[in-house]
Amino acid sequence: MKTVFLLARHSFKELVRKKDFYVLLFLLIGLIIFFYNKTFFGTADASRYLKDIGYSLVMICSIILCVTFTAKQIPSELESKTIYPLLAKPVSRDQLVWGKFLGGLFMSAASFTIFFIVYLIFINLKGEGVKGILMFQAYIFSLCLFTLLSAVTVFFSMFLTLSANITLTLLLFFYFSWYNESLRSLLLDETLKMRLFYNLLFYALPHFEFFDMKTRLAHSWDPIPLWIFVSVIAYTLIYSTLLVISSSALFRRKNL
Amino acid sequence: MRFAAILILLICIPLLSAHVDSFNHSYLLKKGLTSEHSDVLYKAFGEFRGFLSDMSFLNADIYFHGGVYHLEEGETPHLIVEQAHATADMREEDHNGHMHDDDHEDAGYRHSKNTMNILLKISSGIDITRHIHLSGKRKKEILPWIYYAIRLNPKNVQAYSIGGFWLAVKMKKHKEGIELLEEGIENNPRAWQLYLTMGHIYISRLKDYEKAYDHLTKAKRFMGSGNADRFDRRSVLTFHAEACIHLKKYREAIDSWERILKDFPGSSQLRGRIARVRSLM
């Protein structure tokens, strides 16, 4: 366990060294200030669009960082051949995969936390603000999303090149965030043939749409019921663990 | 030497850019393109702006329903329906009964209570299955999307018309509503819908019948060559007749009503009105 966390800490340190995070942070602050100061037909205190756009910006910046950073983890070690001295130390392949996964997750969580704080400062300064419980749920769900995204990215990095991995993960993310509704409608259709197949598909595909709190946050809806909140966290942990275990199994068989 | 080279390059850049800029400008003029085409948003999005503008307008309707998209296929956005009701009846207050923050269960939403699929249950539990109608000061939340719909496409007549109506009639910001409609007319001088909305505001809110008459006369004129149906015609002509009555132009008012009768021959109420006004002449 200690080795895994050492590897994760090493990955996390890269965040501080890399410029990507700072560029996105300043871009985010600039854009939020722009939208914050905008007035519409003499009305300055319309705030829901700021909550909506701001949250989307925070998520997009964090997702880009999460996927690009996690996708680089193992391929860059292989490319620069630093993986050999690493594995020569008492570090198993399983520990390496878990370490890289946790590194990606910690980095994403840290950058998202900073982006989210900036966002919260601005939305609490303008208009109706946000309920504390909604902020908490949105934060936890976002951490769950980065856990799942990091796991998916690590899994794909076992058999895809860096650019293919980034493209496929982002495509999967946007596709299932936007179009999962159509698969759900299909399953609710009473006349559906091959119901078992579609049910299996529904279980197998990652449900990124579970973590989207934008509408609830922007329009001050009620918080998510507790049983769903707990279920989503459990779903994330189970799905991500299965993916990382599968990644470890694939990595063990890999010829280096 | 290096300093001199940098200096020369620094002088060359503005000279070259001035040449390129004047070339572009004369090229655009030759092609019959207007200043709109040199707009930043046009350069960024091109003709895609129209689509983005429509999306932004639709988002205003979604915001009005608390962020929930609830339109069935082919259904008209609520913001437009509200204005259509108000202009058809000239008594928008009558429709305020529907303008509250009450929750509405979405009829079209498909529940998944009977399924054995746990993920399906979670997914349904996360969804928001109701929608609200914004009321009071919260109505302002739709304004950013109307604003962007207009900025993205200054030819979006519907966005101007609905924006002007909501500002002046629903939010009681008369000055801002009229300014927006004036800008819309400047960009779309033959759009009868904008003159109709202007007329509506001047009659129902500002009681300035002279200005209402001017705008509604223009609406009547441009409507002939536009895409108006009989219901649109009825809206314009009803307001026009109303303005004429206040200005004691009884003959014109009767002309407008008689034109409505051509489209709606069964309206006994209108016949009664015509008879009453005839007795005043």
Residue B144 distance to chain A (closest CA, Å): 6
**Assigned domain for B55 exists:** yes
Q: What is the pLDDT of residues B132-159, one digit of tens each?
A: 888 888 888 899 999 999 999 999 999 9
Q: What is the pLDDT of residues B190-249, one digit of tens each?
A: 999 999 999 999 998 899 999 999 999 999 888 876 677 888 888 899 999 999 999 989
**Assigned domain for B169 exists:** yes
Is the pLDDT at B115 greater than 70? The verdict is no
Is the pLDDT at B8 greater than 90? The verdict is no
Portion of chain B with pLDDT greater than 70, in percent: 81
Distance CA A1, CA B186 (A): 69
Residue B86 distance to chain A (closest CA, Å): 22
Taking CB atoms and an 8 Å limit, are B120 and A184 in contact across chains?
A: yes
**Assigned domain for B256 exists:** no
User: Would you mind telling me the total number of residues written for chain B in this entry?
Assistant: 281
DSSP type of residue B100: S
Determine how many CB atoms are found less than 10 A away from the CB of residue A93.
18
Is the pLDDT at B82 greater than 70? The verdict is yes
Number of domains forming the structure of chain A: 1
Rounded to 10°, the helix B230-246/B209-225 angle is 150
**Assigned domain for B226 exists:** no
Taking CB atoms and an 8 Å limit, are A49 and B119 in contact across chains?
A: no
Number of domains forming the structure of chain B: 1
* H-type alpha helices, chain A: 2-17, 20-37, 48-79, 83-88, 93-125, 132-156, 162-187, 195-204, 214-218, 226-253
CA distances for A240 relative to A4, A44, A144, B153, B241, angstroms = 16, 43, 9, 45, 69
Residue of chain B with shortest Cα separation from A42? B176
| Residue numbers of the domain that contains A235 | 2-253
What pLDDT score was predicted for residue B7? 84
* H-type alpha helices, B188-208: 192-204
Determine how many CB atoms are found less than 10 A away from the CB of residue B16.
10
Look-up of token digits 């002939």 = B224
Closest-CA residue to A50 (of A42, A59, A41, A38): A38
Give, for all 256 residues of chain A, the pLDDT tens digit: 677 777 677 766 777 777 888 999 999 999 999 999 988 888 878 889 999 999 999 999 999 999 999 998 888 888 778 877 877 777 888 888 998 899 889 989 999 999 999 999 999 988 778 889 999 999 999 999 999 999 999 999 998 999 999 999 999 999 888 887 777 777 777 676 777 888 888 888 889 989 999 989 888 888 999 999 999 999 999 999 999 999 999 998 887 7
Is the separation of the CB atoms in B233 and B221 below 8 Å? no
Is the separation of the CB atoms in B153 and B53 below 8 Å? yes
**Assigned domain for B15 exists:** no
Closest-CA residue to B133 (of B174, B89, B166): B166
What pLDDT score was predicted for residue B226? 62
Neighbouring-strand partners of residue B105: B130
What pLDDT score was predicted for residue B105? 60
What pLDDT score was predicted for residue A18? 76
Distance CA B160, CA B154 (A): 8
Is the separation of the CB atoms in B153 and B51 below 8 Å? no
**Assigned domain for B211 exists:** no
Distance CA B271, CA B32 (A): 51
Closest-CA residue to A29 (of A121, A145, A141): A121
Question: According to the per-residue pLDDT averaged within each range, which of A20-24, A115-119, B127-131, B265-269 is highest?
Answer: A115-119
Interface membership of A56 toward B (CB under 8 Å) = no
Burial of A237 (0-12, 13-18, 19+ CB in 10 A): middle
**Higher confidence at residue B16 or residue B217?**
B217
**Assigned domain for B91 exists:** yes
What pLDDT score was predicted for residue B179? 94
Nearest CB to A187 within list B120, B125, B140: B120
| Alpha-carbon A115 to chain mean position | 13
Residue B233 distance to chain A (closest CA, Å): 30
Nearest CB to A219 within list B66, B115, B117: B66
**C-alpha neighbours within 13 Å on the C-beta side of residue B79:** 28
| Residue numbers of the domain that contains B152 | 34-101+117-189
**Assigned domain for B11 exists:** no
